[in-house]
Chain A
Amino acid sequence: MAKKVGIEAAIAIAEAAALADVDVVSAYPITPQTHIVEHLAHLVADGILNAEFITVESEHTALSAALGASLTGARTFTSTSAQGLALMNEIVYITSSMRAPVVMALANRALSAPINIWNDHSDVMSVRDTGWISIFANNAQEAYDLTFMAFKIGEHPDVLLPVMINFDGFILTHVIEPVVLFGKEDVEGFLPPYDHPYKLDPDRPVTMGPVGLPEIYTEVKKQQDVAIRSSRSVIDAVFKEFAERFGRKYSAVETYAIDDAEVVLVTQGSVTDAACFVVDEMRKRGKKWGVVEIRLWRPFPFDDVGSALTSGKIKCVVVLDRAISFGGPAGIVMSEVRSALYHVPNRPIVIGVTSGLGGRDIMFEDYVRMFELGEEALRTGKEPEMVTIIGVRE
């Protein structure tokens, strides 16, 4: 029976992997992900979860073992953060390229240096182009639901790609929130058994990850790109089935109070709920502001972003980036938003802000400042190319 409990988001994520009845957990502990794998280790040790828990000496091996396990036909889960993801990097690209539907819970944390264990999005942005499906959760319930759904999405025979669920380190991993946890019987039939069409099997030998000569490599990459783009229909279908069965709705792009909004803030992750709170408060003071969240990061929902940001009375879009593309095209998310709007006639002004780097809190006034920068841009008609870092000491 589903029951609502107060639970730490990290534990809820581990419970979601257990609910999916994973066969293999391969992970190395790192702050702020640690509680996830600790809890899974408990569940395995106590005989509650019948899975192989592989203890490894590094994240590179954690994902290598997960990749191998996934390709034998085992449902596989891993989890990491920042430096751990950086050490996995070689295998991150190989896992998607070899079409292994590993599910990873990524507790978003700033990349070193300087050493920083707190939250931003520099880790997920560093693997933006590695071919993983990438989805953001905003609260503990979403982290639980999306981790569970990730297996159904990634393992779908038309997809067969790894899925990364992003949730903000500490801000989300370490908070205790009310979460509706499913019983096994509640989700019966939702998650079909995983079957890879070319399992590693001694009775039916195949070669996986062979040398791809110049005459083959391009075709493999094209096939992979088509696969992740096509995964969108499966993602939508899984969200729809989940909503129909369990009542909680998820979309590639979430919107809040945008019907009459002139300025909207584009967010990802836990800042979304905070931004919605700011919008509620400021609407009492007459501000017509709204929030658009890009929940699905890869495959990027170009059409949804385009239609959300050109709907109603939106005249200015402020994109909040939680990482920096050094020397690059301003904000990372901001440049994607600009791409999505490039062909749209009468597109809104798009400006970028960066905030909350390395765990710095984004305060109420900071959000207000972001929206005000949007109003300023509207007044002056100026669309600065570069991002403004909110709250940096000059």
Chain B
Amino acid sequence: MRKLPTWKELTLAGIITEAGNSVEYKTGNWRTLTPVVNYDECIKCGVCWSFCPEYAWEEGEDSFFKLNTDYCKGCGICAVECPRKCIKMVEL
């Protein structure tokens, strides 16, 4: 486990000096339900990608959107917004 800073070691007011470090904060383990896509029905529209508050959908080389489970909190917005209703929230 990484050593946590003392109050003397901490930056002023806890300011974060490295940009883009939120990728280190993996929130995937908050999830209870996981979105699962039926790719036979998927039309690659990207609505799941555009609505996801965590940027957990990533476009693959085949243009299908794949879930990055490191960051998906299981909120289910993608399943609600999917125009083809081909995303199901399931217990894995």
Interface residues of A (CB under 8 A from B): 97-99, 160, 197-198, 205-210, 212, 215-216, 218-220, 222-224, 226
Q: Pick from B4, B8, B11: contact of A198, CB below 8 A.
A: B11
Interface residues of B (CB under 8 A from A): 4-8, 10-17, 19
Q: Assess the B10–A206 pair: CB atoms within 8 A.
A: no
Q: How far is the CA of A343 from the CA of B19 in the complex (A)?
A: 49
Q: Which residues of B contact A160 (CB under 8 A)?
A: 12
Q: Which residues of A contact B16 (CB under 8 A)?
A: 206-207, 210
Q: Pick from A208, A218, A222: contact of B15, CB below 8 A.
A: A208
CB<8 Å pairs between A and B, sample of 10: A197-B12, A198-B11, A198-B17, A207-B15, A207-B16, A207-B19, A210-B16, A219-B6, A220-B13, A223-B10
Q: Which residues of A contact B11 (CB under 8 A)?
A: 198
Main secondary structure of the interface of B (DSSP, over half): loop
Q: Which residues of B contact A98 (CB under 8 A)?
A: 13
Q: Assess the B17–A220 pair: CB atoms within 8 A.
A: no
Report A222 CB to chain B, min CB distance, Å: 4
User: Given that A99-B12, A197-B12, A198-B12 are known contacts, is A222 also in contact with B17, CB under 8 Å in the complex?
Assistant: no
Q: Assess the A219–B5 pair: CB atoms within 8 A.
A: yes
Chain A residue with the shortest CB-CB distance to B11: A198
Q: Which residues of B contact A210 (CB under 8 A)?
A: 14-16
Beyond A99-B13, A198-B15, 16 extra complex contacts between A and B, CB < 8 Å: A97-B13, A98-B13, A99-B12, A160-B12, A206-B15, A206-B17, A206-B19, A207-B16, A208-B13, A210-B16, A216-B10, A219-B4, A219-B10, A220-B7, A223-B12, A223-B13
Q: Which residues of B contact A224 (CB under 8 A)?
A: 13
Q: How far is the CA of A216 from the CA of B9 in the complex (A)?
A: 11
Q: How far is the CA of A160 from the CA of B11 in the complex (A)?
A: 13
Q: Which residues of A contact B19 (CB under 8 A)?
A: 205-207
Chain A residue with the shortest CB-CB distance to B21: A207
Report B4 CB to chain A, min CB distance, Å: 6
Q: Assess the B14–A226 pair: CB atoms within 8 A.
A: no
Report A270 CB to chain B, min CB distance, Å: 35
Q: How far is the CA of A212 from the CA of B13 in the complex (A)?
A: 10
Q: Which residues of A contact B10 (CB under 8 A)?
A: 216, 219-220, 223
Report B76 CB to chain A, min CB distance, Å: 23
Report B5 CB to chain A, min CB distance, Å: 7
Q: How far is the CA of A45 from the CA of B25 in the complex (A)?
A: 48
Q: How far is the CA of A226 from the CA of B8 in the complex (A)?
A: 10
Q: How far is the CA of A316 from the CA of B7 in the complex (A)?
A: 41
Q: Which residues of B contact A215 (CB under 8 A)?
A: 4
